[in-house]
Amino acid sequence: AQSVTQPDIHITVSEGASLELRCNYSYGATPYLFWYVQSPGQGLQLLLKYFSGDTLVQGIKGFEAEFKRSQSSFNLRKPSVHWSDAAEYFCAVGLPGYSTLTFGKGTMLLVSP
Amino acid sequence: DGGITQSPKYLFRKEGQNVTLSCEQNLNHDAMYWYRQDPGQGLRLIYYSQIVNDFQKGDIAEGYSVSREKKESFPLTVTSAQKNPTAFYLCASSIPRGGGDNEQFFGPGTRLTVL
């Protein structure tokens, strides 16, 4: 079955430290890949997306993600986390021929002082 | 400013009552979606519509109904048949592209509490 996995339910990072959130997918073809962020009680905001080309994608708020076909992964990174980055992060995939996205269950990021 | 509005932000209803959640967009998007969000469950698709007067069931459509009479509006009714209606509901829209490029834009959500 097709799926999107975010293995970490919660991650705690010290302010100023680097961050990597993991996302793996299981699809036969290379999907379209997205990362969204959700602050508590709010809607989702797109951070970045990958369709093709350069496998390192830059997004908003200093985030980047790297697509690795061999590992079926699309991990989100940030070199230095700020307290305002505390939120829930969702990875999502879109497939050709489908008009919907499939979301992972999310990773909650906590930032410690 | 273009965007998606959901109203109200908080909604309280008694058990056994139907309730309708509003979703309006002025992005001129053809496709609209309803998701339900519960802690630890991620986003689960309830219904989606790619064009006016047409919609499809998502993964958890039981106990919900929708209509799409106008391009900009996609209201969701939570019926009394929905066993656990208390949740956070998110509406989204997109320009439907068959290639998988379905970047979705989200509203701020409605938190429904059934007492």
What tens digit of pLDDT does each residue of B38-95 get?
988 899 999 999 999 999 999 999 999 999 999 999 999 999 888 899 999 999 999 8
Grade residue B98 by pLDDT with cuts at 50, 70 and 90: low
Closest alpha carbon within chain B to A100: B102
> For residues A72 and A55, is the Cβ–Cβ distance under 8 A?
no
Residue in the structure block whose two tokens are 């209803």: B13
Substitution target from B30, B32, B106, B111 for chain A, most A beta carbons within 10 A: B106
**B96 — contact with chain A (CB < 8 Å)?**
yes
For residue A57, pLDDT over 70 is answered with yes
For residue B96, pLDDT over 80 is answered with no
For residue A45, pLDDT over 80 is answered with yes
Nearest CB neighbour to B102, from listed A41, A99, A106: A99
Grade residue A98 by pLDDT with cuts at 50, 70 and 90: confident
For residue A113, the SS3 value is: coil
Average pLDDT over residues A76-89: 97
For residue A62, the SS3 value is: helix
The sheet carrying B19-25 orders its strands as B4-7, B19-25, B76-78, B64-66
Give pLDDT tens digits for B1-24: 679 999 999 999 999 899 999 999
Spatial neighbors of A66 by CB under 8 A, at least 6 apart, are A55, A56, A57, A73, A74, A75, A77
In eight-state DSSP terms, residue A30 is P
> A with B: how many residue pairs have Cβ under 8 Å apart?
64
Q: What span, in angstroms and rounded, lies between the C-alpha atoms of B92 and B25? A: 9
Residues in chain A with CB shorter than 8 Å from the CB of B25 are: none
Å between A19 CA and nearest CA of chain B: 21
Nearest of B90, B115, B97, B104 to residue B21 by alpha carbon: B90
Structure tokens at B48: 């989606």
Q: What span, in angstroms and rounded, lies between the C-alpha atoms of A51 and A42? A: 26
